[in-house]
Amino acid sequence: MNLWGRLFSMLFVLALASLVTWPVAGATAAVAVFAVGLITVLLLHYRHIALLRRWLQNPLPEQAPHGSGIWDEVYADLYRLLRLQRQSESRLTASLEDFRQAGAAMPDGMLILGAQDRIEWCNPVAESHFGLDRQRDTGQSITNLVRQPQFIEYLQAQNYGDPLVLRLSRGTDFILSVQLVPYGDRQKLVISRDITDLERVETMRRDFIANVSHELRTPLTVLGGFLETIADTKAADGELLRRSLPLMMDQSQRMQRLVEDLLTLSRLESSHNPPREEPVNVPDLARALYHDALALSGGRHRILLDLSAGDWLTASEEELRSAFSNLISNAVRYTPEGGEVAVAWQRRGEEAVFVVRDTGIGIASQHLPRLTERFYRVDRSRSRETGGTGLGLAIVKHVLNRHQARLEVASEPGRGSTFSAVFSRDRLLAPAGKELIARSA
């Protein structure tokens, strides 16, 4: 029954009661019965309205009031709407939580800006990129927190086509690519990406091309100059040939060493060329390299050998020889006459370490992080005097990476350097070269 039907039914019942009362008690009593009945109905409705108002202040489904008649239907409808609302809220909460988790899992920074560029939300990566605190900085203007003139100009220009490359100073170089994406009602999504490594790789690529060109240009210029001079000489000049041929030979050998090192690096970097795994007698290898160091030094240095460990390695002997030889030859080249170079194969707990220590010129601390970059030289003129190609430590780094080992460098200007190739226990073999120490431990 609808609302109007219930109303007419109630009025009909009251009117019928009044008509029955009229012949018995008179018209006044009949009107009184009708009025009392109507007031009672109104009071009952008022009571239900009061219960409804109190419940709406804290509408918990389990505390929904109960009624009769039309109010029972009203409460049932309200309970149904409340349940649907709670389900909708649960879905929205779950969706919001999924969005937050997805945003937190993003490798890029995500920052939502509202009107006047105020922060509405950001993920942990954006907090790290811009130095923000989501709890503290929500509602703040981003321009008050990121005080980079380039970033502020980028926001104001509203040129959303190209990303902004933002260089931040945090003790070390930190480079961000920032992209603005407008959406909604004057809202913006700021996407930030750490491109420090990409920029470093690009810089290394440019430096590599420039350095290779420079390294090849010098010997080619020398060779070309001598050949041009010889070609212009009408008759063979014995003195000219005697002076020029050794210089040309030296420059051609320099180019050959450079090409060989480049080919070695290319082979080490190739994923299609895994290292050859074989038992390597490191003590014997160290003895052979010790004798090579004596020959390279020519009696100008004191060369020491310490083989306190007898462990072998599962590795590529050719690659280890190349890496260890580069460390030893660098130590000999950069140690003044009368200095000392010590070569050692030692145990350090469960690890084994190939150590090359010298009393040479040493390296300043600011150069240490870049030593293994291709063609990086602390002193370019001195490097060329010693005959180095600038690729030796890059080769060492790649060889050790292929053997899950690491390079440790300690140096102090004027007091020498220590280079340590550290190998984990998983690579170690018993001195017989047949049983893994890691397995027998």
DSSP H or E segment with residue 435: none
Look up residue 379 and give its two tokens: 């002193």
Residue 215 sits in the same domain as residue 299: no
pLDDT at residue 170, rounded to an integer: 61
Distance of CA 36 to the CA centre of its chain: 81
Structure tokens given for 109: 């920074």
CB 166 within 8 Å of CB 174: no
**Both 286 and 392 in a single domain?**
yes
Side-chain-side CA neighbours of 112 within 13 Å: the count stands at 14
Mark whether 303 and 436 lie in a shared domain. yes
Residue 41, pLDDT above cutoff 90: no
Q: Is the pLDDT of residue 402 over 50?
A: yes
Last residue of a domain, one of 216, 242, 269: 269
Residue 437: pLDDT band by 50, 70, 90 thresholds?
A: very low
* Full domain range(s) for residue 434: 278-440
- Tell me what pLDDT residue 67 has: 67
Is 122 in the same domain as 84? Answer: no
Q: Which residues pair with 191 in a beta bridge?
A: 110, 179
- Confidence band, pLDDT 50/70/90 cuts, at residue 345: very high
In eight-state DSSP terms, residue 165 is E
Residues 251 and 317 grouped into a single domain: no
Residue 101 lies in a domain: no
Is 100 inside a domain boundary? Answer: no
Give the C-alpha separation, 176 to 155, whole Å: 15
The helix (H) or strand (E) run that includes residue 280 is: strand 278-280
Residues 376 and 284 in one domain: yes
Domain boundary, last residue among 269, 298, 313: 269
Could you give the maximum distance between any two Cα atoms of the chain, in Å?
159
Could you tell me the two tokens for 120? 């509405």
pLDDT tier for residue 356 given thresholds of 50, 70 and 90:
very high
Collect all residues with Cβ–Cβ distance below 8 Å to 60 and sequence separation of at least 6: none
Which residue type does 222 have?
V
Q: Are residues 42 and 68 in the same domain?
A: yes
Report how far residue 231's alpha carbon sits from residue 245's, in angstroms, rounded to the nearest whole number. Answer: 14
Q: Which residue has the tokens 């009251």?
A: 14
Q: Check if the beta carbon of residue 99 is closer than 8 Å to that of residue 92.
A: no
Please state, in angstroms and rounded to a whole number, the distance separating the CA atoms of residues 78 and 59. 10
Distance between CA atoms of residues 241 and 246, nearest Å: 9
**Residue 154 included in any domain:** yes
Q: How far apart are CA 87 and CA 437, in angstroms?
A: 61
Question: Residue 142 falls within a domain, yes or no?
Answer: yes
Residue 251 has pLDDT above 80, yes or no: no
Residue pair 354/344 in contact by the 8 Å Cβ criterion? yes
Given a cut of 70, whether residue 381 has pLDDT beyond it is no
SS3 417: strand
Question: Residue 348 maps to which CATH number?
Answer: 3.30.565.10
In a domain, 376, yes or no: yes
Residue 186 lies in a domain: yes
Domain boundary among 45, 61, 95: 95
3-state secondary structure (DSSP) of residue 381 = helix
Mark whether 285 and 258 lie in a shared domain. no
Same domain for 288 and 400, yes or no, is yes
Q: What is the mean pLDDT of residues 172-191?
A: 83
- CATH value at residue 247: 1.10.287.130
155 band by pLDDT with thresholds 50, 70 and 90: confident
Distance, C-alpha 385 to centroid of its chain? 39
User: Are the C-beta atoms of residues 419 and 429 closer than 8 Å to each other?
Assistant: no
The type of residue at 110 is M
* One domain, residues 286 and 387: yes
Is residue 289 in some structural domain?
A: yes
Rg (CA), the chain: 43
Q: Evaluate if pTM is beyond 0.95.
A: no
Handedness of CA 425, 430, 433, 439 (dihedral sign): negative
The total domain count for the chain is: 4
Q: Is residue 421 part of a domain?
A: yes
Residues 310 and 426 in one domain: yes
Same domain, 211 and 75: no
Confidence band, pLDDT 50/70/90 cuts, at residue 288: very high
